[in-house]
Structure 1
Amino acid sequence: MTYPARTSYTLIPNQKYRRSYRRSSKFSSTLDADSPSLSTLGDFKALPLEIFQMVLEYLPVKDISMLSMVSKTISSRLINYISTPTGNRRLLRQDFHNPELSGCRKGYSMLEHYKSLGLLLKRCTLLLPTKERLKYIHKILSEISCFKFSGCSDPFHCLGLQCYGVFLQTLTAGWDELECHRVYNFLCELSNLPRRVQTVVGSKPGSARKLELRIRIFCRSVLLTHWIHRSDSAFWLTRILKPWPMVNQARLLYILFGPASNLDGHVVWQKTTDGPADEISLKGLADAIKLLYDTEAKEWTADDVISLLDELSVVPRDWLLENSARLLILCGNNICFTFMASKAVNGRAIELARLVVFLALVCEKDLYCMDWAVKMMQKVCKVFSTPGERNNFLQGVENSFAHIIMDALQSVISGEHDEEDSSFLNLFHLVNAQANFHKEILYLAMSNSM
């Protein structure tokens, strides 16, 4: 972002006020009656400062924001108003835990308020360099405890960080990457985010549940959620992940977007390892992977994303292959194929064959078209460099179907049932998946021979 020359910004000398609530600050100014700047006040020059501020009480925040663009003098008076107790009470709303905020309209109203406030402060501080803008805005917002990393006792039920995120998104919209780097570094310094992340990625999963939750809520609410353009979301997610080694990136990605409890928001580490995870539990991870794979995520290569996906499948330990397959399907065709092709060229045909079986199982369970799994396998077959490698892979798919079905049958025969009788249901889906998978292969073979 290019700023006008700083010499055009004139600080008006502060005047001593008779009343304690008219606090002076680095950015506030009071105009002398003979000052030529009074001409930029228009009809407001006839009003004492107290009356001018009373008029502001009747204006919506959006209108005050528009008013700040009239002149530098008006902007200075508005900054002074924001710093008064009256302006603070009106503009810095803090009813983030109001039970009524659970309603969509109330919550939307709070978010819109802080979006308007972000625009107001963006315009009022337009002539300041980025570092000074951030310091001033932090000074204004520092009294709001729910905007701090650990300032709220119940962050899961608090709207504060979401409002802070909307405010920052509005403030920084249109800024160039260098300025946004400064914003991120400034936030890291305030929140001590890198040290906190180091703690959770270096600890046993779930051993710091409260800190995991705070990192998840802070990063998502403040840095990731409110962007309109995917390139912006990719930029901020990259800032969070890139400083860390790949294994820590995978752990951090799970903390941010992995399955979480609906009751208290805590990360559920065993969700992907102890049983089948539903689409809703994996959608956040899939969306994040797709965001990084996007061409607008300039700091990531396809190999980076595939390596991250591979590392993710062993966080906190090896996932059930059904969950890995479901995540790949949610990630979309390009990522799924690239991931499978990577295994093919690296000689991991047995893993790949088992993965194909579970892709078919997920298609059967989640009602996807089975011909998708067949066509994906057909496409992967073209990656193998020799007919022998391809034939070994196809034989591996058939052997995997047989072994996995026999394992499921053994589980049923041994009487390892739970209340939902999931062992028998899983065998039922496996048999149907195999039948429908081969049916699509027969359709494909017969259509090509005619």
Structure 2
Amino acid sequence: MYFRCLAPGNPVLREANETRERMRIRTFFRVLVVGLTVVFAVSSATDAAWRSRRKKRYDCSARLARALVKYDKGRFGDVKTILTDTKYQCGGHSAMDSILYYLGMAHLQSRSANEAKLEFERLINDFPNSPFAEEAAFRIGHCSYLSSNPPARDQSTTRDAIRELTNFLDRHPESALADSAKKYLHKSREKLAEKAFNTARFYEKIDKYEAAVVYYRALIDEYPESEYVMESRLATARCLARVARAVEARDELTAILAEEPDEETARKARDLLARVDELGRKGKRRWFGRDEETAGPGSPAPDTVSGTDGDTASGQETGDTPAAVPDTSAVDSANIDSAGTDTAETRPERTAPPDTTGRQDETDAGPDGDTMQADTSVAKKPDAAAGEAGENPGPDGESPAGVPPDTGASPEKSESAPSEDPDSAKPSSQ
């Protein structure tokens, strides 16, 4: 009976198989419906959350308010993070000018002057009628000043700051920020004046006095209100005295004293003027080396005089100190002759040794500081020697001491027939 029920053609077995198949299909559809329901619910919740976050992200006013709270607390890094994102998401929002302003101020407080300048420039260009536009115009020049280089380096950014601050003062002369703009404008000009002063001082240190005068005077003309002007005027007079322009130096110093400067400047001007006058009384037209600068106004100048081959008449080494040259225009020949201090009778006799080194003449200083040439064969008057020295200027327009004028003729002394009588070198009396 049992085996008969399991036969393939048994209707009971066939009905059981059909029932089992229907149950399987029903279970599949139930699982499918439940799965689709879960997927739809999850996707709906995700979409709702995304929409909520999206709406919150683009709430520009709320983001700006949050940034302002952090700005008041001094958390400028958080302010930059919030407003940088808000700037790109709220391009056409009405609070965009406020976003740019506070973002620029956050950069400025973080010592990022270049980034701050970019934000202020965008604010000026996109929102010229904004209430923040006036301060943004000032901050542009302020940022240029803060990002400028020290005086020893390139000053193009400093010049940009001067231009931008000047434009701000021209457009907003009555602004509450005008005083601050003038302060930074003065600092920018002072930086350029310092650079010009250092350049002039460099030329003075390497003994390029004419170039130094040019730079000092350019500083005085371009920056008349600078604190370096008075020092530049003193340095100009000092350099003029070094290049045989004592009259100009004296005029400059006299003008400084006439303006009644401070005590220190007046003392320097008086000392320098006394030094220039002292050199003029000695018949000298210029300073000779750095020893003259440090000696002080009351110290006597070295009386060493160079010979023809660079040696001094006294035989001592003078380093790189040039030879002293008399200024024939400053010496009154009538007074000298009447006093009798420049004649052969009052001057001690000097005997020139035989010329064994190829030197043809020696230059020596007289008692009054002027020079005379002691030739071993022919005696010359001091005035004549000084006159010939003026006819043969050296590289600076002056005659090197001890060098005879180049007249194209052979020297008066013949090397083949030296003078045997040393007394013949004595200068004859007039």
Mark yes or no: TM-score above 0.5.
Answer: no
Higher helix share: 1
TM-score by length of 2: 0.30
